[in-house]
Chains A and B, each alone.
Chain A
Amino acid sequence: MSATVTGLTTHQIARRSALDIADGSYVNLGIGLPELIALFIPNDREIVLHVENGLLGMGPSPEPGDGHPELINAGKKQVTTLPGASFFHQADSFAMIRGGHLDLSVLGALQVAANGDLANWSTGREGAIPAVGGAMDLVSGVKAVHVITRHCTRDGTPKLVRRCSYPLTGAGVVDRVYTDLAVIDITADGFEVVELAPGVSFDHVAARTAAPLRDARPA
């Protein structure tokens, strides 16, 4: 294992995952790392971003002084609207989510298990304030669920595991994971590497994954 392996930066992970979002998709980006994806939507595609607090057609952050406190995203940051945008109430917003009308949800993760379980809302730590927001609704209804995350925590603990130890957001919900090291599909047989980050070996990824990993890269 080479100490010089760095993998992708968070911006590069976001850019890589954006490449797989199809033209014409309706997409919800979770709070945190997934928000970066909006910066990297390829120019040749029109993708409509859904904001679960009531907006389709989210645009970039406003210029300083141009924003409005009543035009915000799920992270409670001020945003703008693009031509073709619409506003709606929470029951309609979650009908879009739960009713399978959105094509893709991209979420962050504390842990992803080889069976597609996702934990991203609570570490279950004693004394933590439980807060779930819309994550459980998103994973239960959106057609595809992608996760973007660092492969390991800051202290090097793998986030891709055999079974989640943290409380679940949803059971068997994740389709694909983008990390700084690889792109990994969740299949009936568990984790499958479909792409490695430049300069990263399969063994390097396997050593940092706490579950069996299959090499499914195209020959």
Chain B
Amino acid sequence: MIDKRVGSPREAVAGIGDGDAVMIGGFGEAGSPIELIHALIDHGAANLTVISNNSGSGEIGLAALIRAGQVARIVCSFPRSTNSRVFPDLFHAGRIELELVPQGTLAERIRAGGAGIPAFYTPTAAGTDLEAGKERREFDGRPCLLEHALVADWALIKARTADSHGNLVYNKTARNFSPLMAMAGRNTVVQASSVVEPGGLDPETVITPGIFVDHVVHVPDPQHESELVARGARYP
């Protein structure tokens, strides 16, 4: 029998170890799995590499994980936010390492990781400072850079609806990186606002097939980053 449901965010992240690489879904607050991130803060795994488009806002969610000192390195396209000093302060203090990746290259590196493609060439960033250290090759006279796939020990993502096989449907622009991270995470954990029995999702509308998902946690009423930041919330 396949049933990927687990009882709580705490159980879902319990296997994350020190030094693990963790992909975290979301573009800004849309799709950010706040409850899973908070469970990871409680869990306490340290020296993590986090792969996520942004570096969080305020002092909750991803920003709180960084503030807790659990993140040694972040792979990110836009680690800047008008309402958080957490990442900049640690970055300036030399306490967190940054690998800056153009957003489309980040997406494609994650997709490649999940698809078994070790590396690919892209024209993005050729001739810029982000070319440094990358192999260059011309295709049809156009300079391109070799980019390597990204995989991770864990992917933490958020969906609107999951079934117990891990088939997923997302919500609006909260989909963003999550279907890619689900593929590239060796252990993919989903927090879903609703969880249904197999057959409860129309196969034609499934966005992420359950084969890419390992654990499903029901988080019926997920918090929203902007609402928490607006009222000055901190975690823990």
Interface residues of A (CB under 8 A from B): 51-55, 68-72, 76, 87-91, 93-94, 97-98, 122, 127, 129-137, 140-141, 167-171
Contact = CB atoms under 8 A, between A and B. Distances in A.
Contact of A89 (B28, B179, B226): B179
Nearest to B223: A69
A89 B25 CA distance: 11
Nearest to B123: A140
A168 B129 contact: yes
Interface string B91-128: 11000001011111111101100000000001111111
Interface of B: 27-31, 53, 77-80, 87-88, 91-92, 98, 100-108, 110-111, 122-130, 170-180, 207, 224-227
A70 B171 contact: yes
Contacts of B178: 89
Instruction: Name which of A69, A70, A76, A93 has the most chain B CB atoms within 10 A of its CB.
Output: A70
A89 B181 CA distance: 11
B29 A98 contact: no
A70 B160 CA distance: 11
Contact of A76 (B29, B106, B227): B29
A131 B68 CA distance: 22
B128 A54 contact: no
A130 B87 CA distance: 12
A53 B111 contact: no
Given A88-B175, A91-B180, A136-B124, 4 more contacts: A52-B103, A69-B224, A90-B176, A94-B104
Contact of B124 (A76, A88, A140): A140
A127 B93 CA distance: 11
A94 B126 contact: no
A69 B124 contact: no
Given A54-B27, A69-B29, A69-B30, A129 B77 contact: no
A136 B32 CA distance: 24
Given A53-B30, A69-B225, A129-B91, A136 B172 contact: no
B172 A87 contact: yes
B175 A134 contact: no
B174 to A, nearest CB: 4
A97 B102 CA distance: 13
Contacts of B105: 136-137
B177 A136 contact: no
Contacts of B100: 130-132
A72 B30 contact: yes
Instruction: Name which of B88, B102, B173, B179 has the most chain A CB atoms within 10 A of its CB.
Output: B173
Contacts of B129: 122, 167-168
Given A91-B180, A170-B127, A133 B77 contact: yes
A137 B53 CA distance: 14
Instruction: Name which of A71, A98, A129 has the most chain B CB atoms within 10 A of its CB.
Output: A129
Given A127-B92, A132-B130, A167-B129, A91 B176 contact: no
A123 B176 CA distance: 28
B124 A98 contact: yes
Contacts of B172: 55, 68, 70-71, 87
12 contacts: A52-B103, A76-B28, A90-B107, A91-B111, A94-B104, A98-B104, A129-B87, A129-B91, A131-B77, A132-B78, A137-B104, A171-B128
A72 B28 contact: yes
Contact of A90 (B103, B171, B226, B227): B103
Nearest to A78: B226
5 smallest beta-carbon distances between A and B, as pairs = A94-B104, A137-B104, A171-B127, A90-B107, A134-B103
B128 A136 contact: yes
